[in-house]
């Protein structure tokens, strides 16, 4: 299990949290997702044999949010 | 009375503006979310008032009854303020469902009083995410009366959080703030 932290541009509305949470958690291989509103971060745990940081970042980008940086742990 | 065509024209304009406001949030749009949350919270409060059981359920029910009265006052005051500001307000269940973030659960009626209290704490905390954003947006838009109402609501919600947390034996912000250890 790997951990990924995505730093987004400032989230303007708390309802964005729900949208991102739902979008990322629906991806195959994603174990958990936590969206931090004030920090504008998405933290996720995923199975690296099923998905990868590029795919997960693309999900968030496709939802309309700019991913400024990613950190894999 | 407006004609059917005129009503439809106004409603379509409202939908178009709502879409624009969602992508570039305005204080009005953010407070639409707040109204939706208040509406959902009203149903949850009634659910708890009707269902609470246990040795201190009478005290809790009285507390919830007060919260219900205050919730109604806040919702009306917020709606009136938005109308004063020339905004179009959400009025239907479909809109409240779309804009609200608080979650409902039919199982809550089986919960004990501390679990209900913890749910209310989380709901007031979630509500304040929107309220604090609304304050910043209203100030930026120089809509000072709107900002003042939102500051009052922020303080009211914070107070309810502290009261409920203290009943649960916790400090005001215990377990509520985002943990960002990166």
What is the complex's ipTM, to 2 decimals? Answer: 0.76
CB A13 to CB B33 under 8 A? yes
Confidence of residue B65 (pLDDT cuts 50, 70, 90): very high
How far does the CA of residue A51 sit from the closest CA of chain B (Å)? 22
Tell me the pLDDT tens digit for each residue of B143-157.
999 999 999 999 999
DSSP helix/strand/coil, A14: coil
| Domain range enclosing A39 | 2-72
Query: Is the sign of the CA dihedral B34, B15, B17, B14 positive or negative?
Result: negative
Please give the pLDDT value at position B23: 66
Please give the pLDDT value at position B159: 98
Please give the pLDDT value at position B56: 84
Asked if A49 has any chain B CB less than 8 Å from its own CB, the reply is no
Tell me the pLDDT tens digit for each residue of A3-50.
999 999 988 888 888 889 999 999 999 999 999 998 999 999 999 999
Question: For testing the chain B interface, which of A3, A14, A69 should be mutated: the one with the most B CBs within 10 Å?
Answer: A14
**Helix ranges (DSSP H) in B85-108:** 93-99
Contacts of B24 in chain A (CB under 8 A): 12
The CATH number covering residue A58 comes to 3.30.70.100
In chain A, the number of structural domains is: 1
Q: Give the C-alpha separation, B14 to B17, whole Å.
A: 5
Instruction: State how far the alpha carbon of B152 is from the alpha carbons of A13, B29, B132, in Å.
Output: 20, 19, 11
Contacts of A64 in chain B (CB under 8 A): 23
CB B133 to CB A12 under 8 A? yes
Looking at chain A, how many residues does it have? 73
Q: How many CB pairs under 8 A join A and B?
A: 33
How far does the CA of residue A39 sit from the closest CA of chain B (Å)? 7
E-strand stretches of chain B: none
The pTM is what? 0.87
Confidence of residue B81 (pLDDT cuts 50, 70, 90): very high
Tell me the pLDDT tens digit for each residue of B22-43.
667 899 999 999 999 999 999 9
């Amino acid at each position: 299990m790997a951990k990924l932290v995505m730093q987004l541009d400032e989230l303007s509305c708390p309802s964005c949290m729900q949208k991102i949470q739902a979008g990322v958690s629906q991806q195959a291989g994603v174990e958990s997702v936590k969206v931090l509103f004030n920090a504008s971060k998405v933290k996720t745990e995923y199975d690296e044999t099923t998905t990868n940081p590029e795919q997960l970042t693309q999900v968030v980008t496709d939802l309309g949010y700019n991913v400024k940086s990613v950190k894999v742990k | 009375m407006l004609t059917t065509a005129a009503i439809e024209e106004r409603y379509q304009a409202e939908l178009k503006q709502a879409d624009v406001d969602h992508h570039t949030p305005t204080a009005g749009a953010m407070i639409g979310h707040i109204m939706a949350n208040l509406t959902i919270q009203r149903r949850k409060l009634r659910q708890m008032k009707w269902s609470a059981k246990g040795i201190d359920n009478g005290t809790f029910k009285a507390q919830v009854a007060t919260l219900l009265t205050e919730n109604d006052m806040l919702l009306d005051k917020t709606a009136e303020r938005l109308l004063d500001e020339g905004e179009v307000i959400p009025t239907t269940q479909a809109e409240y469902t779309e804009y609200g973030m608080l979650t409902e659960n039919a199982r809550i009626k089986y919960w004990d009083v501390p679990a209900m209290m913890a749910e209310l704490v989380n709901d007031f905390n979630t509500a304040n995410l929107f309220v604090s954003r609304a304050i910043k947006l209203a100030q930026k838009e120089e809509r000072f009366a709107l900002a003042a109402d939102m500051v009052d609501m922020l303080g009211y919600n914070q107070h309810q959080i502290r009261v409920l947390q203290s009943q649960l034996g916790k400090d005001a912000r215990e377990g509520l703030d985002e943990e960002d250890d990166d």
